[in-house]
Amino acid sequence: NAGVTQTPKFQVLKTGQSMTLQCAQDMNHEYMSWYRQDPGMGLRLIHYSVGAGITDQGEVPNGYNVSRSTTEDFPLRLLSAAPSQTSVYFCASSYFTGGRGPRTQYFGPGTRLLVL
Amino acid sequence: AQKITQTQPGMFVQEKEAVTLDCTYDTSDPSYGLFWYKQPSSGEMIFLIYQGSYDQQNATEGRYSLNFQKARKSANLVISASQLGDSAMYFCAMRGLTGANNLFFGTGTRLTVIP
């Protein structure tokens, strides 16, 4: 299993440009999510999905779009990049079943984004 | 709403010694899960250990153990016999056990192991 993969590893954008960060997982996880990590802060949730066709907003959704057409893929779109979106972006996935299990989230390697 | 507090921005420990990283939390959920992740300088997030609020015993995973004190709302990570490779950022996180899997993270503690 490759686990959770993210592309690209690093990207430089100019203000106003758009781009898509790719995330894929091969563990048949229902739940997928996007977090951003800024210096001195923990990870903050941008968007998440509990299954194909279902997405919802997290704590910091403004400026980002997501869709989930398959179980495996969960791309994050930056509509019009701003310097405030300079960050490290992590995708994560887990099982999403009823009950009290840990449903541990496993993270991709991250995408480092610089917006000039 | 959930909130995680990690009050130690940085910690130092001598190699082979034990170290405790603090984590306190606040939540209105009656059931919840607590996680610790390690982030080495290479940047990836590595899952270390999980504790469910309903678990009777403290979780252990090899050299990692979680000192869970529900009444105090604390979930401290204990690393025994520290190794140089333990130098990293450590994040405490939690989620409610109903609804989505969304994690709420603390700001992290940077651990440095001294040879």
Residue B22, pLDDT > 70, answer yes
Report pLDDT digits (tens) over B41-59. 999 999 999 999 988 899 9
- Lowest-pLDDT range of A27-31, A108-112, B76-80, B105-109: A27-31
Q: CA-CA distance, A57 to A45, in Å (whole number)?
A: 8
Distance from CA of A43 to the nearest CA of B (A): 6
Mean of the per-residue pLDDT values of chain B: 94
Q: What mean pLDDT, rounded, does chain A reach?
A: 93
pLDDT(B27) > 70 = yes
CB contact under 8 A, A56 and B100: yes
A68 with A9: CB under 8 angstroms? no
- Nearest 5°: the CA angle B53, B55, B57 is 125
pLDDT tens digit string along B101-115? Answer: 889 999 999 999 999
**A103 and B101: CB-CB below 8 Å?**
yes
Residue of B nearest to A110 (CA): B44
Calculate how close chain A gets to B15, using CA atoms only, in Å.
26
Contact A102 B33 (CB under 8 A): yes
Q: How far is A102 from chain B (nearest CA, A)?
A: 7
Position A100 scores a pLDDT of 58
Least CB–CB distance from B101: residue in A40, A105, A107: A105
| pLDDT 10s digits, B68-101 | 999 999 999 999 999 999 999 999 999 876 667 8
Does position A13 have pLDDT exceeding 80, yes or no? yes
pLDDT for B30: 84
Instruction: Decide if B45 and A104 are in contact by the 8 Å CB cutoff.
Output: no
Cβ atoms < 10 Å from Cβ of A99:
6
Give the distance from residue B108's alpha carbon to the nearest chain A alpha carbon, in angstroms: 6
> Where residue A107 falls among pLDDT bands split at 50, 70, 90?
very high
Rg of chain B, C-alpha, whole Å: 14
pLDDT for B57 equals 93
Q: From CA B14, how far away is CA B84, in angstroms rounded?
A: 9
Q: What's the rounded Cα separation, in Å, for the pair B113 and B23?
A: 19
pLDDT for A99 equals 59
Residue to mutate among B23, B36, B38, B45, with most A CBs inside 10 A, is B45
